[in-house]
Chain A
Amino acid sequence: MLQIENLHAWYGAIEALKGIDISVHDGNICCIIGANGAGKTTLLKSVSGMVRHTGTIRWNKEDISKASPMAVNKHGIIHVPEGRLVFPGLTVYENLEVGTISWHGFIGRKPYDEDIRKVFDLFPRLEERRDQQAWSLSGGEQQMLAIGRGLMARPKLLMLDEPSMGLAPLVVEEVFKKIVEINKQGIPILLIEQNARLALEVSDYAYIMEQGRIKFEGVSKELESDERILQAYLGNFKEEA
């Protein structure tokens, strides 16, 4: 379980997060919805130790507020970044290989064939493109590769930053199906989305973020039918998405 209390984060003098409290329970999909610039990415970056922040972040009771990106990875908290950011000059297979670094080590020799097998079973399209360089993949395939690379790290919590960004609706649906499938394997997921309708559909619990603060939170099913939220948020985001 991931617990975040009173989280503030800064870029220089700009305060991007102004006191955030959220928690992600075991086995759940928790989503965070908000417009551009709300601070969603910053929240994930704080957990990953990539931005200056204060407050407490606890992972299974252990305080990881001050942990380095490497240490966070060692805990099994894996951040799949916004915009996929696969390694363009490496092949699909090599991208997946590199994903194992947190438990494999720089010069380790532990085998990872089984992990690769699992990712290929989940995303058969990646197996077809096994030796293709990542820059030549389509957006959807790159997103799958980014998620696959995250899975190679043997996540105990998977944080996905806007996996639907820039993808065609059909592809988005496919990606979301896979996300649910991953969750069914017992991996809790912290999902960041601008596509509110879809996010609420797949998640168990949702937070709505605005300008560095949590505006609403609740069980996704309830938020989905909440008139106020439908009016204030879903409409807006749909237009944007």
Chain B
Amino acid sequence: MALFFQQTLTGVSVGLVYATVAMGLMLLLRAAGVMNFAQGNLLAMGAYLSFLFMEKLQLSSGLLMVILALAVFVAVGCVFCSVCFLPFKHAKWPQAMMICTIGAGTVIQECCLLFITAETRSVRPILAGSLSVGGFVIPYQYFFIFGAMLFMMTGLFFLFEKMYCGRVMSAAAQNKYAADLLGIPTNLTTMVTFCIVVCMVGFSGWLLAPVYRVSASLSNFQARAFASVVIGGFGSLKGAIIGGILVGLIEAYSTYFTTTYKDVVVFGCLLLVLAFCPQGIIPSGTKKEKA
């Protein structure tokens, strides 16, 4: 029983990370019309940054690290948007943008390997120690991940549901032409979306670093985020969240049976979902989310 609780909690926290990465995918898909193939590399970049700040530079103040990281993420977001979105805005071949994100991902990864570290490293957890009640052991880091992800999602919800600028950003994402006609600075809103997504994904990577260690293979999470998006139902943010948590749980529970083949279990489930309900398990009000 204790093991079950432990798996559930770790599953949900890691699932929330997938959910965040998947939400980032959806946000970009809606705002820029591009499936971002650099998402995993951005996640890895966050982890590398945590290694750089915490181990290599030995920065002492948490606040300083967060501010520096924010600055880096926003800068990367702006450059990423300028390179991958703006030049291809009017491209006749929409896949151009997607291919460009693949290239950008490679550049990001190589920069991390070149400038930060080429070896697999571990970093200290932000919250050391673990909670043990009975046979039930959970590192505090998981609670931290849990809290941070909830915080990010609440922030996102607040931005898009409650705030004027979030509404303007959704409008621009839904119809660029109409938004331009209203005088919405659509290039700016798209760039802000890129920055938000890079921050979300980057900090997720940061939080995952102590759990999964810092290496370029963190970018494999991209595939899990895809799985989350597909399982949850392509197109809706809610679906991305639920899909992410599900993928996290499936992965956690599958460790009952196997650790080496847990990817097989996850993507096996993905195939099952695709076979039996290709719309995903959350039937989204398609029309509303599509446009």
Contacts and interface: CB of A to CB of B under 8 A. Distances in A.
Partners in one complex: yes
A135 B181 contact: no
B283 to A, nearest CB: 16
Interface residues of B, number: 24
A146 to B, nearest CB: 8
A108 B164 CA distance: 8
A133 B168 CA distance: 15
Interface string B168-193: 10110011011111111100100000
Contacts of B67: none
Contact of A101 (B168, B174, B285, B288): B168
B183 A81 contact: no
A203 interface: no
B291 interface: yes
Contacts of A87: 170-171, 174-175, 178-179
A98 B167 contact: yes
A186 interface: no
Nearest to B236: A89
Nearest to A88: B291
Contacts of B188: 106
A8 B288 CA distance: 38
Of listed B174, B182, B184, residue having the most chain A CB within 10 A: B182
Interface string B135-177: 0000000000000000000000000000011011011001101
A80 to B, nearest CB: 8
Given A89-B289, A133-B288, A135-B291, A48 B170 contact: no
Given A97-B167, A98-B168, A104-B164, A50 B181 contact: yes
A126 B123 CA distance: 56
Given A87-B174, A88-B291, A89-B289, A94 B181 contact: no
A241 interface: no
Interface string A92-132: 00110111011010111000000000000000000000000
A74 B183 contact: yes
Given A85-B177, A133-B288, A135-B288, A99 B182 contact: yes
Contacts of B168: 98, 101, 106
A131 B280 CA distance: 27
Nearest to A73: B183
B180 A90 contact: no
A153 B291 contact: no
Contacts of B170: 87, 89-90, 94
A95 B168 CA distance: 9
A72 to B, nearest CB: 8
Given A90-B171, A101-B183, A107 B287 contact: no
A19 interface: no
Task: Give the 4 A-B CB pairs with smallest separation, nearest first.
Answer: A73-B183, A85-B178, A102-B183, A88-B291
18 contacts: A50-B177, A73-B183, A85-B175, A86-B178, A87-B171, A87-B174, A87-B178, A87-B179, A88-B174, A90-B170, A94-B167, A94-B171, A95-B171, A106-B164, A106-B168, A107-B165, A135-B291, A153-B183
